[in-house]
Amino acid sequence: MRLINTTTLELQEVFDEINGPPYAILSHRWGEEELSFEEYGSGVVRDGLGYHKVLGTCALARHRGLEWIWIDTVCIDKRSSAELSEAINSMFRWYQRAEVCYAYLSDVRPSACHESGPSGMMREFQESAWFTRGWTLQELIAPPEVTFLCEDWTVIGSKRSLRAQNFRSALSSPVINGDIRRITGIPMDVLDDSVKVYQASVAQRMSWAANRSTTRPEDIAYCMLGLFDINMPLLYGEGRRAFERLQTKINSRFEDESIFAFTPMHDFVAPWQMNLYGMLAVSPAEFAGCGAHQEA
């Protein structure tokens, strides 16, 4: 993986992830002004929201005493399909190992912008599109601590696990696990890491992605690889067959019949769709009613 130095802003390759330096990590929704690895390395682009995300994350990490950060847009060379595949298959682990994840919610205005103050900001927080995206699911669950930031990079609150309580933090913010549970349907004990994500049933984990979406249809499967500790090659162009492959991998690894507890969204299935339907779900949306399933 590559990391950005929070002082020099230079990229550095890290080959030994286990013994690598502590780092902060950014979770965000992509916009129109994101920086690519190539653009960042060239040093040409030094403006726009993408660059300011780098600066903002570096400033927060330095304040916490961290010398390194990771941002997906800049730290992955997406021109290399091999590197992209390795990164997506490793991403859950990278978020797990981060000291803190900064979740930047660009659609949440600071409380000063609301007549009702903090309560108005919290309404926008609960309605943020960040909670509807596929990739942000693992970015919420994997890190021991997630600090939520609004449009101007001020702190809204934090998701903190029991493990994170021993971490040194320069930020003081309310723990909002209860709000996150109501928004996402993810149990409190999973959010605070008192119950490991792998203890939840397959159907329950699928249900957490039921109301989420991705720009590319394959990514609704790829963004869930880490939740099931599954590795598989990326085949962009396969469409929803990626979700079929994911379920096949899960079936071969776990003895958990809850994977068949989904509710089909269509009464009629055309013959050409039979290989997609059969005993497998078409999308996580078909697991929407499975949030109450407990351990596998």
Report the pLDDT value the prediction gives residue 266, as an integer from 0 to 100: 65
Give the model's confidence band at 147: pLDDT under 50 very low, under 70 low, under 90 confident, else very high.
very high
Q: How many CA atoms lie within 13 A of 291 on its CB side?
A: 16
Distances (CA, A) of 203 to 199, 214, 218, 257: 12, 20, 19, 9
Query: Does the pLDDT of residue 170 top 50, yes or no?
Result: no
- Residue carrying the six token digits 């078909």: 286
Report the pLDDT value the prediction gives residue 167, as an integer from 0 to 100: 39
Report the pLDDT value the prediction gives residue 107, as an integer from 0 to 100: 95
Least confident of 45-49, 200-204, 243-247, 286-290: 45-49
pLDDT digits over 219-248, tens only? 999 999 999 999 999 999 999 899 999 999
Q: Note the pTM of the prediction, 2 decimals.
A: 0.89
Which DSSP letter does residue 134 get? S
Element (H, E) at 4: strand 2-5
- What is residue 53's three-state secondary structure? helix
Element (H, E) at 119: helix 118-126
H helix count then E strand count, the chain: 11, 7
pLDDT digits over 71-120, tens only? 999 999 999 999 999 999 999 999 999 999 999 999 999 887 877 777 88
Q: What is the mean pLDDT of residues 133-146?
A: 96
Average pLDDT in the chain: 88
Burial of residue 68 (CB within 10 Å: 0-12, 13-18, 19+) is buried
The β-bridge partners of 146 are 101, 159
Strands 68-70 and 2-5: antiparallel
Check residues 240 and 292 and name the one with the higher pLDDT.
240
Q: How far is CA 283 from the centre of its chain?
A: 18
**Is the separation of the CB atoms in 134 and 29 below 8 Å?**
no
Residue 48's region, left for phi above 0, alpha for psi from -120 to 50, else beta, is left
Element (H, E) at 87: helix 81-97
| Cα Rg of the chain (Å, integer) | 19
Give the model's confidence band at 143: pLDDT under 50 very low, under 70 low, under 90 confident, else very high.
very high
**Is the separation of the CB atoms in 83 and 76 below 8 Å?**
yes
